Structure 1
Amino acid sequence: MKILSLVLLILLLLTQYRLWVGEGSIAHVSELKRNIAKQEAENQRLKAQNQNLALEVEALRSGLDAVEARAREELGLIKKGETFFLFIDPEEQ
């Protein structure tokens, strides 16, 4: 009877060990859920970024207005007949 009780106690402890400490334990599952939530948030951010880039590509393909606006902003494009004015804020000097 003592040996059977000892064997059952050891089996109980082994199953409890896996439940609390081993792979698949409550702590492990909780960590995996946190990692999944982080990854889903990152995926959503990247999906929004991809949508913005797709809209920008479509705008650049559809007409010259978007290309011209981008060239003005990033490259300082000035058309013939236009006059360039640069205003300097005296407080920034």
Structure 2
Amino acid sequence: MRFVIALLGLLLFVLQYRLWFGDGGFMERRRLQTQVAELKQEVAERRERNQALEAEVRDLKHNLAAVEERARRDLGMIEQGETFVMMVTRSAPEESRP
């Protein structure tokens, strides 16, 4: 009788081990749930970024003022008759080295 109880206890332990730590077990399920949540967050961030980029492309395609503003900001372009002024700030002098 003791042998049967010990065998059943061992079988219970093996089944519990597989439930918690085996393939498809509880621990793997928790890890996968966490991974899915992280991926959903990343997808949401990328979707938001894509929407902003699509809006910018749409604006650049249909709005000449947006193209001009972008060229001025990114490329430093000026119109004929305008004067370009660049403000340069001095960096702090380096300390003399001994």
Q: Which TM-score tier does this pair reach, normalised by the shorter chain?
A: 0.7 to 0.9
> 2-side partners of 1:88 and 1:7: how far apart?
84
Counterpart of 2:58? 58
How does 1:40-59 map onto structure 2 within 5 Å?
A: 40-59=40-59
Structure (1/2) with the larger helix percentage: 1
Query: 1:3-62: CA deviations, max 9, x gaps?
Result: 543443343122111112102222211111111111111111101110110110110111
> 2-side partners of 1:41 and 1:61: how far apart?
30
1:67 is aligned to 2:67: yes
Given the superposition, is the C-alpha separation of residues 63 and 92 from structure 1 closer, same or farther in structure 2, using an over 3 Å criterion?
farther
> 2-side partners of 1:19 and 1:32: how far apart?
15
Structure 2: gaps spanning 5 or more residues: 94-98
Letter in structure 2 aligned against 1:78: I
% identity of equivalent residues: 37
> 2-side partners of 1:47 and 1:18: how far apart?
39
Counterpart of 1:26? 26
Give the alignment's Cα RMSD to 1 decimal.
Answer: 2.0
Counterpart of 2:39? 39
Structure 1: gaps spanning 5 or more residues: none
Name segments (4+ residues, structure 1) moved above 3 Å: 1-7, 90-93
